[in-house]
């Protein structure tokens, strides 16, 4: 069974940075699945934060994180990253990595193929 394991969450002050990592248990997944980051704040729906194409590495950041968050992947390490800079309290959420056979524009939370367990990110004012 393919697994995704996130790491790197924590508590940071507003304006600070964190880097999340998501490691997959299978290289097959990295070769054939699109990878994305989602987040879910208390009382809110899970939203897509950023996505990276398998074929050419094109990235699709949400408007709320453009210019602050950078998604990347290292296929040799079966690992995806999310560099988060200039964090604000509104970024506080549980962050999940996801893998899906669909291309980035077609990935929606309710239909994701594989989820990680999530990692908490808390940004204090």
Tell me the percentage of the chain whose pLDDT exceeds 90: 86
> Residue 9 has what pLDDT?
96
Residue 1 has pLDDT above 90, yes or no: no
Q: Which of 26-30, 41-45, 47-51 has the lowest mean pLDDT?
A: 26-30
Residue 53 has pLDDT above 80, yes or no: yes
Distance CA 102, CA 53 (A): 10
Q: How many CB atoms lie within 10 A of CB 118?
A: 18
The model's pLDDT over 64-101, given as tens digits with 9 standing for 90+, comes to: 999 999 999 998 999 999 999 999 999 999 999 999 99
- The structure tokens listed for 44 are 């809110």
**Which is nearest to 51 in space by CA: 67, 33, 68?**
33
Helix boundaries (H) for 10-60: 27-32
């Amino acid at each position: 069974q393919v697994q995704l394991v996130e790491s790197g969450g924590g508590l940071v002050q507003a304006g600070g940075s964190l880097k999340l990592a998501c490691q997959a248990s299978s290289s097959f997944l990295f070769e054939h699945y699109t990878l994305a980051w989602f987040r879910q704040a208390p009382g809110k729906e899970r939203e897509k934060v950023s996505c990276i194409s398998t074929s050419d590495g094109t990235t699709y950041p949400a408007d709320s994180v453009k210019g602050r968050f950078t998604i990347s992947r290292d296929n040799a390490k079966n690992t995806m990253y999310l560099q988060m800079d200039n964090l604000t309290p509104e970024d506080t959420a549980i962050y999940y990595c996801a893998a899906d056979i669909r291309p980035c524009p077609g990935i929606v939370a309710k239909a994701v193929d594989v989820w990680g367990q999530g990692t908490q990110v808390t940004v204090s004012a």
